Structure 1
Amino acid sequence: MSIAHQRKKQPEAVRQQLLEAAASLCLEKGAGSLTLDAVAAAAGVSKGGLLHHFPNKAALLDGLLDDLMERLDAAIREAMRSDPEPHGRYTRAYLQACFVPGGMAEEGRWKAMTMALLGEPNLRRRWRRWVEEQSVLHAGTDASIDCELVRFAVDGLWLGSVLESHAMPPERARMLARRLTELSYS
């Protein structure tokens, strides 16, 4: 009997298992080579079980992006709660969530999703919409040119991390984070 038939029904746990498997496969082989069969096998779930949660590859990638954006939103909200200074609060939270010396939370999943974002127009539209919504939501506190510069720098650091193009010693990363934090107050 397969693992899927022995497991108690836990739909959210199965869904997370599928998302983890999809992220791992995207990271290892690229989003272009991601197949539903491969995800089901890697997660130890029947293809029917996968199709119950994600009827196609696009839905699976959407689910992965939704999950990551929810986690990013939660990390940003948490960081904002502990910041007493309104000006630049969102920018500092974004910096804290996305550029952490030693690696951001969910780094492997974000690397996989970034690769998928590069190749999937629908995912790019959804990400752009999230960025635009954040800009509108925080326009009263984070519209300064310095805050915008910090967010662009964070995005560049994130992309450099995804592409593994820039080796950065931890002390250098801490120095960059401190300087970007300083700019967010301007």
Structure 2
Amino acid sequence: MRPSNREKILSAAYGVVEREGVSAVTFEAVSAASGISRGGLLYHFRSKEELLLALHEYLAQRWEERLIEALGRAPEEATADEKIAAYARVSARSASGPELLLILESSIHSELRRPWSAVLAEWTPNLAGVSPEDPVALDRLLAVLAANGLWASEAISDVRIPAELRGALAERISGMLESPSAP
């Protein structure tokens, strides 16, 4: 099945971020990368901001699809620990430069953060009311932080972790949740 023009535009915008950074995403750059006219872009996205939001939504949706695949069922059918374990397994795939740039951008723009926050709310523990004396809550939080570090590690350092080792680390993170202290 051929990708829709909307997906083609989003893929081209991602490519612009990959080559030149988020600030280089303009209608002109995306038009050139996608082969779709500026008018065609405007048909799908009324502004650059709308295009960037759609790119964040698209990437967050793809991330959630990988999480569901790793879990093997709908998130509502899983325990908190099973969802965090799936999160760790998906995080074993190293962040790409564009993903990291877009995540960082979303940290300072609440509208762009919304799609990512929706995914995180479903898959990671809520920090509201977590007590420093609750070992289960602390283990869950530590597992998420470790998974985040595994995901971002290669993008922020010169350390290259072989795929087999990344997988073993993800399983080790998941195993943190299988301790006798977890319910």
Range of TM-score over shorter length: 0.7 to 0.9
Q: What secondary structure, in the 3-state scheme, does the structure 2 residue paired with 1:78 have?
A: helix
Amino acid aligned to 2:106: L
Among 42, 53, 75, the alignment partner of 2:44 is 53
Amino acid aligned to 1:97: V
Among 121, 128, 131, the alignment partner of 2:117 is 128
Which residue does 1:3 correspond to in 2?
A: none
The answer to whether residue 77 in structure 2 is matched with residue 88 in structure 1 is no
Runs (5+) with no aligned partner, structure 2: 129-135
Question: Taking structure 1 as the reference length, what is the TM-score of the superposition?
Answer: 0.74
Mark the CA change 1:126 to 1:75 in structure 2 (over 3 Å): closer, same or farther.
closer
Count how many residue pairs are aligned between Structure 1 and Structure 2: 168
Mark the CA change 1:87 to 1:133 in structure 2 (over 3 Å): closer, same or farther.
closer
Which residue does 2:61 correspond to in 1?
A: 70
Q: Is residue 30–residue 116 contact of structure 1 (8 Å, CA) maintained in 2?
A: no
Deviations 1:105-135 (A, max 9, x none): xx46524523532554432354335423544
The answer to whether residue 5 in structure 2 is matched with residue 23 in structure 1 is no
Question: Taking structure 2 as the reference length, what is the TM-score of the superposition?
Answer: 0.75
Amino acid aligned to 1:77: I
Q: What is the Cα deviation at residue 41 of structure 1?
A: 1.0
Q: What is the Cα deviation at residue 178 of structure 1?
A: 2.5
Among 174, 178, 182, the alignment partner of 1:185 is 178
Instruction: Between 157-166 and 81-90, report the one with greater CA deviation.
Output: 81-90
Q: What secondary structure, in the 3-state scheme, does the structure 2 residue paired with 1:166 have?
A: coil
Instruction: Between 16-25 and 169-178, report the one with greater CA deviation.
Output: 169-178
Mark the CA change 1:164 to 1:89 in structure 2 (over 3 Å): closer, same or farther.
same
What's the % identity of the aligned pairs?
Answer: 28
Q: Kindly report the root-mean-square deviation, in angstroms, between the aligned alpha carbons of the 2 structures.
A: 3.1
Mark the CA change 1:116 to 1:27 in structure 2 (over 3 Å): closer, same or farther.
farther
Amino acid aligned to 1:98: S
Q: Is residue 87–residue 123 contact of structure 2 (8 Å, CA) maintained in 1?
A: no
Q: What is the Cα deviation at residue 47 of structure 1?
A: 0.3
Runs (5+) with no aligned partner, structure 1: 1-9
Which residue does 2:102 correspond to in 1?
A: 113
